Amino acid sequence: MPNEHLKDEPAKEKPENPITASAAGEKRGDKYQRILEAAVEVIAEHGFFNARVADIAQRAGVADGTIYLYFKSKDQILMAAISNAFGAFLELARAEVKSASEPRDQLRRLALLHLTSLGSNRNLAIVFQTELRQSARFLAQFSQHQLKQYFDLIREVVRKGQDQGVFRGDLSDKIVANCFFGSLDEMVTSWLLSERDYSLPGAADAVVDVILGGVETRRPS
Amino acid sequence: MPNEHLKDEPAKEKPENPITASAAGEKRGDKYQRILEAAVEVIAEHGFFNARVADIAQRAGVADGTIYLYFKSKDQILMAAISNAFGAFLELARAEVKSASEPRDQLRRLALLHLTSLGSNRNLAIVFQTELRQSARFLAQFSQHQLKQYFDLIREVVRKGQDQGVFRGDLSDKIVANCFFGSLDEMVTSWLLSERDYSLPGAADAVVDVILGGVETRRPS
Amino acid sequence: MPNEHLKDEPAKEKPENPITASAAGEKRGDKYQRILEAAVEVIAEHGFFNARVADIAQRAGVADGTIYLYFKSKDQILMAAISNAFGAFLELARAEVKSASEPRDQLRRLALLHLTSLGSNRNLAIVFQTELRQSARFLAQFSQHQLKQYFDLIREVVRKGQDQGVFRGDLSDKIVANCFFGSLDEMVTSWLLSERDYSLPGAADAVVDVILGGVETRRPS
Amino acid sequence: MPNEHLKDEPAKEKPENPITASAAGEKRGDKYQRILEAAVEVIAEHGFFNARVADIAQRAGVADGTIYLYFKSKDQILMAAISNAFGAFLELARAEVKSASEPRDQLRRLALLHLTSLGSNRNLAIVFQTELRQSARFLAQFSQHQLKQYFDLIREVVRKGQDQGVFRGDLSDKIVANCFFGSLDEMVTSWLLSERDYSLPGAADAVVDVILGGVETRRPS
DNA sequence: AATGAATGAGTCTTCATTCAT
DNA sequence: GATGAATGAAGACTCATTCAT
């Protein structure tokens, strides 16, 4: 488990695929991971509904039938891929929160992690941005559970900030979390649709600036 | 109905489904619209890929084959439905911007329109939140064009605010627009996934508060 | 054609496929029947589990998908084919019973009908002999219902004969019906497995002779 | 080979599974038999075509691949199971015939054996009633051979009875054998489809009564 | 213009069989 | 001999699209 990643800030110095990387580790053998990775690639390329199981198998270098030794159905592959990757991300996010104690700092780190993680794995980003919502509705279990945990993590930080008086107390923590997540999410989306000629993590500060600016209590100059 | 929000803005006095409503007008006859509306309903219910053309036809009260007198393919239906609805929304958004002159006011109005429009038509909201991104990738033309116009509208307001000195000049207008749109977008998404037991437009002020708070130049107290 | 077997039994003067024939009549259009007939042919040839839907479609002269406009599943085709044919046979059997009043005569006629019907349509006979029992277990509804009615018809005749004193009263009507049906059934099976170089209806008298001989009350010579 | 079962008549006092029992004997080792028995169970439960080799393997407590060390194919398993069981039954039947000399007595014993054997092993009965005919057509060699031998045995008894003048000479021995076998066969089938709340061997006398009654020469009272 | 029966290409999934260990 | 993971061929079924009426 690649969680020993950051004391101070070194995490951002080696940001390649923090999510996928942590998913490795031979869980259920090599093929399980290969299929999962192939699935993310193919789904990113064609979208879930246009992705053929045969393509995933081929890209994973296994026979079609082998897929079904590891997954019950095509749906399950998507679920597993998202859940797997998001679960890893969630761990990182929690570690990130723990690695700091000041709420503003914590949000800043979360934002950076969010953009770094997705910015370093385009395929995963695509799956997250386009398939996650689909699955949220149709394969409903997922987002209700894991995504909510991410939100809860953000909300906790917000509430702590409010308790400490560094964040405005007149805002719903839920709305703040929505703005925070939504802003980051949209950054990723627009980055995906763009030529991706700029650094996504590089925009983290600006985004945090905006959100924190609206959330912080005004310090009389 | 979250409409009693403004005093002297006649435009919003008939806000029920501002998007869909404006799409009416017998374009290419009654059936065209009926099919479009049926498509939004069915797609909202099952998702684009699980929506069957036969279902759309049935809900529209026409024969399967009739669909193809009006649309070239299933893809075209989704495109048209989104484009149609979004085009109407875009008009409203432009009118909203014109109806005010102060940038902060303009953003406030846009936010309210955004949340009111989607908050008053659940089906359309679903299609926007879940299918729009898919289509952005697969039926690519759309978002590149119409969604960009919406973004550009926001960015213009932001830039104007920066020029006038009411918004911080050190922020990229694009990033601000992303935060603005992303926040609203996430509000809608979380509202859809929730029990929808609260008023979406009612949250507009809070969202604008956060974003504007981070964007406005700090007035020395 | 084994039809010239009887002098004064008008019912049997047009016995070509009494079962299938009566099933005709454009029920649900031409294709429904064509598919059913094709199904019987293909199933007779390969057995139900080895029969491919595509083959049935081809033999019926329709597209694969067309099958599913008329039947819900492959199983349903078998069910329908058997039920359809057996229903028609059941009607004939009832008519046959009504056409005579003397129990021995009634059994004689039933036997002749049984052998004539299956003897004149080899494919149907195969399906009945080999697939009926399978379906009795797996598509259980059928035999529980229709086949039971045939048995009940036989048992009624037997009971009437017992009441009238022409049949031994010390035998269970169920066992007698089993012997009667089983004997006929086995005649068909062995005929199917043989070269079919003899007339099946021609054996009716002998079978009835044996069964009746064992069932009749002994008339003192 | 447990065939030393009857001197006079005790055979019927311990009728549990005469067929299966005789099949034992470590032919080609323990696993061969275990697989055969598992096959009968699984096939009885699901039917041959719905029975998976993996299920048979599991029930036999061996690995999937092991099956193929003992059998060439799935078809071969069915063939072997039926052949094995029927071969044992055939031996019993021959012994039964030898154990008596009077034709009527011989038929009576055969009937009792038939009903006892199948009545004491439901799974085997199912396989015989439902799969035997299938295999008769598709795995053709079998019934043409073994089943024919059983028929021939019956026919010999019948012919001997005719020669001795105890059976009517005007009946085809084949037809009589068909009636005899068919009646017994149907008894088993109807017993299987019923709740099996009655004793199958208990019906032997009645069946023999009917058949013999129709076959015996009438003794002038 | 409208219909809706018909089409048939496309794909997920199963499972008998193999073979490296 | 024994295993069981892996294979991949095969087939039922769906549904967007067409076209004769």
Residue from the list A175, A184, A210 with its beta carbon closest to the beta carbon of B207: A175
Check if residue B31 sits with its Cβ under 7 angstroms from strand E. yes
pLDDT digits (tens, 9 = 90+) for B30-87: 899 999 999 999 999 999 999 999 999 999 999 999 999 999 999 999 989 988 888 9
Distance in angstroms (rounded) separating the CA atoms of residues A151 and B186: 12
Touch test C–D: 3 Cβ pairs or more under 8 Å: yes
Provide the 10 A C-beta neighbour count for residue B141.
11
Number of Cα atoms under 13 Å in the Cβ half of residue A85? 27
CB pairs under 8 A between C and D: 130
Query: Bridge-partner residues for C167, per DSSP?
Result: C216
- Contact criterion met (CB < 8 Å) for C187 and D175: yes
Residue from the list A136, A175, A207 with its beta carbon closest to the beta carbon of B175: A207
**Token code pair at residue C64:** 């694969």
Please report residues of A whose CB lies closer than 8 A to that of B50. 138
Neighbours of chain B (3+ CB pairs under 8 A): A
pLDDT at B19: 53
Whether the pLDDT of residue D33 is over 90: the answer is yes
The class level of CATH for B74-215 reads mainly alpha
- Contact criterion met (CB < 8 Å) for B214 and A218: no
Average pLDDT across chain C, whole number: 84
Confidence of residue C110 (pLDDT cuts 50, 70, 90): very high
Residue from the list B178, B187, B216 with its beta carbon closest to the beta carbon of A190: B178
- Contact criterion met (CB < 8 Å) for C214 and D218: no
> Which residue of B lies nearest to A194 if distances are taken between CA atoms?
B144
How far away is chain D from the Cα of C147, in angstroms, using its nearest Cα?
Answer: 11
DSSP 8-state class, residue C63: -
Whether the pLDDT of residue C21 is over 50: the answer is no
pLDDT at D136: 63
pLDDT at B136: 63
Whether the pLDDT of residue A151 is over 90: the answer is yes
pLDDT at C55: 97
Average pLDDT across chain D, whole number: 84
- The residue count for chain A: 221
**How many angstroms separate the CA of D80 from the C1' of F5?**
28
- Contact criterion met (CB < 8 Å) for A137 and B126: yes
Nearest C-alpha neighbor of D136 from the set D156, D121, D150, D153: D150
Residues B125, B118 contacting (CB under 8 angstroms):
yes
Confidence of residue D10 (pLDDT cuts 50, 70, 90): very low
CATH 1.10.10.10 is held by the domain D18-70? no
| Integer CA distances (angstroms), D50 to A46, B52, B100, B188, D84, in order | 36, 32, 72, 49, 21
> Which residue of A lies nearest to B128 if distances are taken between CA atoms?
A133
Please report residues of D whose CB lies closer than 8 A to that of C49. 49
Lowest mean pLDDT among B159-168, B195-204, D76-85: B195-204
pLDDT at D19: 57
pLDDT at A24: 38
**Token code pair at residue C91:** 């009607």
pLDDT digits (tens, 9 = 90+) for C33-64: 999 999 999 999 999 999 999 999 999 999 99
Going from N- to C-terminal start, the domains of chain A cover 18-70, 74-215
Check if residue A100 sits with its Cβ under 7 angstroms from strand E. no
pLDDT at A2: 31
Check if residue A74 sits with its Cβ under 7 angstroms from strand E. yes
Sequence-distant (6+) residues with CB within 8 A of A117 are A15, A17, A18, A19, A89, A92, A124
DSSP 8-state class, residue C195: -
- Contact criterion met (CB < 8 Å) for C179 and D176: no
Backbone angles phi, psi at B216, to 5 degrees: -65, 150
Average pLDDT over every residue of D191-206:
87
Please report residues of A whose CB lies closer than 8 A to that of B137. 47, 126, 130
pLDDT digits (tens, 9 = 90+) for D75-101: 999 989 988 889 999 999 999 999 999
Confidence of residue A132 (pLDDT cuts 50, 70, 90): confident
- Contact criterion met (CB < 8 Å) for A175 and B182: no
pLDDT at A15: 40
pLDDT digits (tens, 9 = 90+) for B78-125: 989 988 888 999 999 999 999 999 999 999 999 999 999 999 999 999
Q: Hey, of A176, A185, A186, A198, which one would you mutate to test binding to chain B, going by the most B CBs within 10 A of its CB?
A: A186
